[in-house]
Structure 1
Amino acid sequence: MKSQTTNTIYFDYNRAKIEDETLINLYKSMLKPRMIEEKMLILLRQGKVSKWFSGIGQEAISVGVTTVLDKDEYILPMHRNLAVFTTREIPLYRLFSQWQGKANGFTKGRDRSFHFGTQEFNIIGMISHLGPQFGVADGIALANKLRDNKKVCAVFTGEGGTSEGDIHEALNVASVWQLPVLFCIENNGYGLSTPTNEQYNCENLAERGKGYGMESHIIDGNNILEVYSTLKKLVESMRIDPRPVLLEFKTFRMRGHEEASGTKYVPDELLNEWAEKDPLINFEQYLLAEDLLSEEKIEDFKTAIKAEIDENLDIAFAEAEITADETIELNDVFQNFVYQEVKASNNTEELRLIDAISLGLRQSMERHDNLIIMGQDVAEYGGVFKITEGFVEAFGKERVRNTPICESAIVSAAMGLSINGFKSVVEMQFADFVTSGFNPVINHLAKSHYRWNENADVVIRMPCGAGVGAGPFHSQTNEAWFTHTPGLKVVYPAFPYDAKGLLATAIEDPNPVLFFEHKALYRSIRQEVPTDYFTIPLGKAALLREGTDVTIVTYGAGVHWALETLNEETGIKADLIDLRTLMPLDTEAIYESVKKTGRVIILQEDSLFGGMASDISALISENCFEFLDAPIKRVASMETPIPFTKNLEDQYLPKNKFRKELKKLLDY
């Protein structure tokens, strides 16, 4: 093909039965983001924009996908998909404010670029970790399928992102569950500077669809009519026959990964080759040749778009800088939750911890018809601890869902369910396995409300703890990983009564909750528990014993070790505080007790350094120092991984040394 400077049309466009008006709209939809980008590049050189990720040359993909979807169908774009936002007709001043970190943007200056979502326009933006985006799309699509609303969603990534494990997990889940998702891979030649031959070892990424048991297509991403016509047909089919489809769009990134990167690593001949395939210029020449456009009409379009850009830039530039306000920042970490107490009835029965959790979960399923349970072996098998035994018969497999072994995709899917109006409880088979889903917990669930006002209505159940000889991979008490992360709530009950009431509240709460359940307590602890549904507020500790000698602060199995010690050492009169909730933490209960007793010992099962006891100790030092009659004492497990054999595990745990350290503190 000859160079574009000769006005030669590279593509053999097939308009089929596409109406003239649609053709013109497709052109205008590509022209607007191109002109915005060209303006942004000027502003970047002027120092008026801090960073820019260019999608020049890839507009046809975003425009085609967005145009064929209904406005209430979700799209999950990346940072080169400006045309998704403009085709959805987001007011430009809001986009400009977002890029400037102004209040009229979507993140209140807390994130930049396209790292945001908006329910108003059914767009769910990316996080820099790329891969979890596909899992979030799974959750959104699952909600659509459960509603049987004939809706499709589309999610984007680049060819580099397909190397991430989250992508593989999400594609597999979508195939197993037959979720109506368009998985859009923009194969644009380079992941930053790494070429495709160093990213994957196959000719086409679409070929992977066969391995997932998924329909796949290769589409020329620079041919707007091929994109539009193929996608229109696919979407119409998927609404009738819900299923995932893997799409590989062949395109090219004409500018650097971001402008500071440049394109020196790209051969000039490759840039020239792709310049001839420019989606906007080619389509413009086609419309001129078909007498659907004139030079005058093009100029009219450009004049109108330029005026719109300039007018909206003036609005954004005139907007005041955001004023830092500590109260606002702290209040936006969590969605506001107004706790409504449901009082416990007088009808009780003796339940083990495991039975109380199971009953509480069952009653929440009855109370919330939009609550979904997901996890490995949770359906017919009832979970490895049998907590969901009988749930399939009661609620059906649509709501009680076995998952593949892929923690990350399922946590991401839970985020997608929340976005699309569902609650979910995800069971980690063991709390240790959350490491395989750590990224979406920390970076999606925890940060979304703070970033763009989207809550994560997700509870993750975490069977944890030692004392059962399960060894290093099934026995960790890893709560401190999450108490360190703003945006997560952490619950750790020690008794059946508390577990049932706190689980109900955790599910009511629209924020993400890590719900820890100690395995060694599952069948060893019994208590009279109300049979009806009831709630207990998060952030309220329980005072189990009262005394003036010392304050004992603990949670989980530590509560029972402390009780055993106090039952045997009857001369010790202690305030025994069961925290129950680690985040939010009931500091008032701790301070009140410490100010009364003057001595405090903090007991945790986790290893010592960096654990809950360390922070509680620091808080007491800062707030109660003048009331202390002795140093604060922390007691915890050894600084080793958790061993398997009983003698080693007994040595590892702090149970046996707690009594010794308590007496030493009292003798100080």
Structure 2
Amino acid sequence: MQFQKSSLQSEELISLYKNLLWPRLIEEKMLVLLRQGRISKWFSGIGQEAISVGATMALQQDEWIMPLHRNLGVFTSRNMPLHKLFKQWQGAQDGYSKGRERSFHFGSKEHRICGMISHLGPQLAVSDGVALACKLKQEKKVSLAFTGDGGTSEGDFHEALNVAAVWDLPVIFIIENNGYGLSTPTSEQYRCAQLADRAKGYGMDSVVIDGNNILTVYDTVKGVRDYCIREQKPYLIECTTFRMRGHEEASGTKYVPKELFEQWQEKDPIKNYEVWLLNEGVLTDQDVLATREEMKTAIEEALQIGFNSRPTMVSANDELRDVHAPTVINNQRPALNAQRSTSSRELRMIDAIKEGLYQCMQQHSNLVLMGQDIAEYGGAFKITEGFVEEFGKARVRNTPLCESAIVGAALGLSLEDFKSVVEMQFADFVSVGFNQIVNNLAKVHYRWGQNADVVIRMPTGGGVGAGPFHSQSNEAWFVHTPGLKVVYPSNPFDAKGLLIAAINDPNPVMYFEHKALYRSVNGQVPEEYYEVEIGKARVVQTGNDISIITYGAGVHWAEEYATEHTDVSIDILDLRTLLPLDYEAIEASVKRTGKVLLLHEDTLIGGISGDIAAWIAEHCFQYLDAPVMRCASLDTPVPFNTELEKTFLAKARLDETMLRLLAY
């Protein structure tokens, strides 16, 4: 192993040595603790420390890093207190994630480290968003994301590299190629000669380096950082290395040929660098001995503090509270209603959404819109038409067809205090970004206190003859996911106010907008910039015979039915928000009538009405005069033929269901 110190002074060489040795000694202690049963699980990076340490030391302290399981050197090189890391690894409540996350699945905004999720690939897109934020702020910074050789097979890897290249983002992508994805060798993972070759397909430069040489890693990343900032382009670095332990300790290493361990033992990053420093006269044997003893003492001291955590105090209220970032109530944005406004005028629902989005772009200079064809073309439904001329392409961004990467980039923007609105061209297409939403956006605040200031606009629903891939009602997919908020307006007034509230909310919000209502529903909408409170239902009309609890297009079906059946006193409740639900309003409606019909356009099985019905049975049984009934669409995909679609939709069974319920 050849070391080139370049222009580094002895103090810098020694600093690199100490930062390299520190995680190795910590890991050796962790393996002892694991055998003693004092910790439960460990992902070892022994043999790979030079990559984590060299890369981290080459960056500025305020530049974000997206590490993975075996990057202890990132955390230690950012000077995170060891005693608190010990608490984290034990699952102690006074660790970094309050006992809610394991080993390295946590982040810290203070240290500019983004917590990973087990799916690995999504981290790469988050780094795109951070780099975009730095670019928009005209800051001379990069972001850096790690992946393993196995992770390069995931779609997220390719999406993230493509977005970074297309948008000219200063991102450094590092592949730690240790030869195995758990037990699967690289010979069974890819056919290209080097993983770095994949960069060429994205118009990106790359390099393959010895990942066990700390000076090579440090010098390369430092040079690449300068390149990314100067050229405003991404770069891919493949670091060849080897994992000397199992994927995690329980999995062992029986699948690895013995001779590989012998070969790579000779390439140990710490032993070789230490020998070189001794030969160069930078260190003496006494220095090495003293450094190791000092570190071992520090580890024992940190352990004493780390194992002295208070017993876990379980509070369901605290757990529920931390699912969402707190929403600041701004008294300068009072809730309005169309009757009180002095400047209301009639708008179509699509125009109300456009106005709300436009006013938010004016209010928030840090708001970025992202989506397919939303710039010059104005989006599939023309909601953002004219925005690019007003706000520029930096803030109104056409995206490649890669929903997962764009949602991940939205989270990255949030790390740097930007807001973003992502437009799904159709709600159906969200499935290819599902993992980023339900596992990354939704859980990030609960896991390590980071908010995800992201709104995802979801043109949804049937009734327009668009078939099974452009007409789904998939809101129930997200209602099941703690950490998200789900809103679904039925009229122009609510559409504008809820969109503004969603953008002002620091939490991820799924904003559903029914395509069939865009141009078919008009209503009074104030010119003012106003919010409709998320989590509050709207009483459309009161009645005492029967309650219809619904949302979206179902509100209009219910109103139409009530108009045609004036002999029945119908109470109509528009939920407006599906997560969180307004249980107080639901209970009040049940009390008014004693008979409840739950109406939604989604298919019956797994739709949100099932949960509402269960809640009513559990909490309002004493007020019921009949069983709670559901009216929903058929349990089939949405058909293309309009006659078939009419039969599919819940509206086709509304009259029949009402008659059955009234008969009780």
TM over 0.5: yes
User: Does structure 2 conserve the Cα–Cα contact (< 8 Å) formed by 1:342 and 1:533?
Assistant: no
Q: CA deviation at 1:418?
A: 0.5
Residue 426 of structure 1 aligns with an amino acid whose one-letter code is: V
Q: 1:34 aligns with which of 14, 24, 44?
A: 24
Q: Which residue of 2 aligns with 1:443?
A: 439
State yes or no: 1:353 paired with 2:349: yes
Q: 1:216 aligns with which of 173, 194, 206?
A: 206
CA distance in 1, matches of 2:221, 2:550: 57
State yes or no: 1:229 paired with 2:219: yes
Q: Which residue of 2 aligns with 1:241?
A: 231
Q: Deviations over 1:554-580 (max 9, x none)?
A: 000000011111101111111100111
The 3-state SS of whatever aligns with 1:561 is helix
Residue 490 of structure 1 aligns with an amino acid whose one-letter code is: V
Q: Which residue of 1 aligns with 2:302?
A: 312
Q: Which residue of 2 aligns with 1:542?
A: 538
Trace 1:211-360 onto structure 2 (pairs within 5 A): 211-340=201-330, 341-344=333-336, 345-360=341-356
Trace 1:609-624 onto structure 2 (pairs within 5 A): 609-624=605-620
Q: Which residue of 2 aligns with 1:603?
A: 599
Q: 1:375 aligns with which of 365, 371, 390?
A: 371
Q: 1:577 aligns with which of 573, 580, 602?
A: 573
Q: CA deviation at 1:339?
A: 3.0
Trace 1:630-645 onto structure 2 (pairs within 5 A): 630-645=626-641
Q: Deviations over 1:229-261 (max 9, x none)?
A: 111122123222221000100001111000111
Q: 1:490 aligns with which of 475, 486, 489?
A: 486
Q: Which residue of 2 aligns with 1:452?
A: 448
The 3-state SS of whatever aligns with 1:61 is helix
The 3-state SS of whatever aligns with 2:548 is strand
The 3-state SS of whatever aligns with 2:567 is coil
CA distance in 1, matches of 2:311, 2:119: 28
CA distance in 2, matches of 1:346, 1:615: 40
The 3-state SS of whatever aligns with 1:123 is coil
CA distance in 2, matches of 1:140, 1:199: 29
The 3-state SS of whatever aligns with 1:120 is coil
Q: Which residue of 1 aligns with 2:112?
A: 122
CA distance in 1, matches of 2:58, 2:2: 21
CA distance in 1, matches of 2:545, 2:156: 52
Residue 85 of structure 2 aligns with an amino acid whose one-letter code is: L
User: Does structure 1 conserve the Cα–Cα contact (< 8 Å) formed by 2:335 and 2:533?
Assistant: no
User: Does structure 1 conserve the Cα–Cα contact (< 8 Å) formed by 2:57 and 2:77?
Assistant: yes
Residue 423 of structure 1 aligns with an amino acid whose one-letter code is: K
Q: Which residue of 2 aligns with 1:91?
A: 81
Which one is further off, 150-159 or 11-20? 11-20
Q: CA deviation at 1:343?
A: 4.3
Q: Deviations over 1:135-173 (max 9, x none)?
A: 000001100110011001111010000100011001000
Q: Which residue of 2 aligns with 1:503?
A: 499
CA distance in 1, matches of 2:656, 2:342: 40
CA distance in 2, matches of 1:506, 1:229: 45
State yes or no: 1:59 paired with 2:49: yes
State yes or no: 1:528 paired with 2:524: yes
CA distance in 2, matches of 1:380, 1:500: 23
CA distance in 2, matches of 1:510, 1:218: 40
Q: CA deviation at 1:14?
A: 1.4
User: Does structure 2 conserve the Cα–Cα contact (< 8 Å) formed by 1:55 and 1:253?
Assistant: yes
Q: Which residue of 1 aligns with 2:643?
A: 647
Give the unaligned 5+ runs of structure 2: none
CA distance in 2, matches of 1:238, 1:192: 32
CA distance in 2, matches of 1:374, 1:307: 51
User: Does structure 2 conserve the Cα–Cα contact (< 8 Å) formed by 1:339 and 1:537?
Assistant: no
Q: Which residue of 1 aligns with 2:162?
A: 172
Residue 617 of structure 1 aligns with an amino acid whose one-letter code is: A
Q: 1:627 aligns with which of 611, 617, 623?
A: 623
Q: Deviations over 1:324-367 (max 9, x none)?
A: 11111010000111333434432022111100000000000000
The 3-state SS of whatever aligns with 2:192 is coil
User: Does structure 1 conserve the Cα–Cα contact (< 8 Å) formed by 2:17 and 2:273?
Assistant: yes
State yes or no: 1:561 paired with 2:557: yes
CA distance in 1, matches of 2:115, 2:588: 45
User: Does structure 1 conserve the Cα–Cα contact (< 8 Å) formed by 2:543 and 2:592?
Assistant: no
Q: CA deviation at 1:70?
A: 0.6
Residue 633 of structure 1 aligns with an amino acid whose one-letter code is: M
Alignment root-mean-square deviation, CA: 0.8
User: Does structure 2 conserve the Cα–Cα contact (< 8 Å) formed by 1:490 and 1:583?
Assistant: yes
The 3-state SS of whatever aligns with 1:102 is coil
Residue 334 of structure 2 aligns with an amino acid whose one-letter code is: V
The 3-state SS of whatever aligns with 2:307 is helix
CA distance in 2, matches of 1:607, 1:237: 53
Q: CA deviation at 1:125?
A: 2.0
CA distance in 2, matches of 1:629, 1:60: 71
CA distance in 2, matches of 1:77, 1:661: 54
Q: CA deviation at 1:13?
A: 1.3
Q: 1:363 aligns with which of 356, 359, 363?
A: 359
Aligned length: 658
State yes or no: 1:196 paired with 2:186: yes
User: Does structure 2 conserve the Cα–Cα contact (< 8 Å) formed by 1:108 and 1:322?
Assistant: no
Residue 143 of structure 2 aligns with an amino acid whose one-letter code is: C
Give the unaligned 5+ runs of structure 1: 1-10
User: Does structure 2 conserve the Cα–Cα contact (< 8 Å) formed by 1:383 and 1:429?
Assistant: yes
Q: Following TM superposition, where does structure 1 have runs of at least 4 consecutive aligned residues deviating by more than 4 angstroms?
A: none
Q: Deviations over 1:400-444 (max 9, x none)?
A: 000000000000100111111100000000000000000010001
The 3-state SS of whatever aligns with 1:157 is strand
Residue 131 of structure 1 aligns with an amino acid whose one-letter code is: G
Trace 1:154-165 onto structure 2 (pairs within 5 A): 154-165=144-155
Q: Which residue of 2 aligns with 1:7?
A: none
User: Does structure 1 conserve the Cα–Cα contact (< 8 Å) formed by 2:545 and 2:593?
Assistant: yes
Q: Deviations over 1:199-222 (max 9, x none)?
A: 111110000110010011111101
Q: Which residue of 1 aligns with 2:388?
A: 392
TM-score normalised to structure 1 length: 0.98
User: Does structure 1 conserve the Cα–Cα contact (< 8 Å) formed by 2:115 and 2:448?
Assistant: no
Q: 1:593 aligns with which of 589, 601, 607?
A: 589
State yes or no: 1:422 paired with 2:418: yes
State yes or no: 1:19 paired with 2:32: no
User: Does structure 1 conserve the Cα–Cα contact (< 8 Å) formed by 2:143 and 2:172?
Assistant: yes
CA distance in 2, matches of 1:85, 1:258: 18
The 3-state SS of whatever aligns with 1:119 is coil
Q: Which residue of 2 aligns with 1:8?
A: none
CA distance in 2, matches of 1:99, 1:546: 55
CA distance in 2, matches of 1:538, 1:328: 21
The 3-state SS of whatever aligns with 1:231 is helix
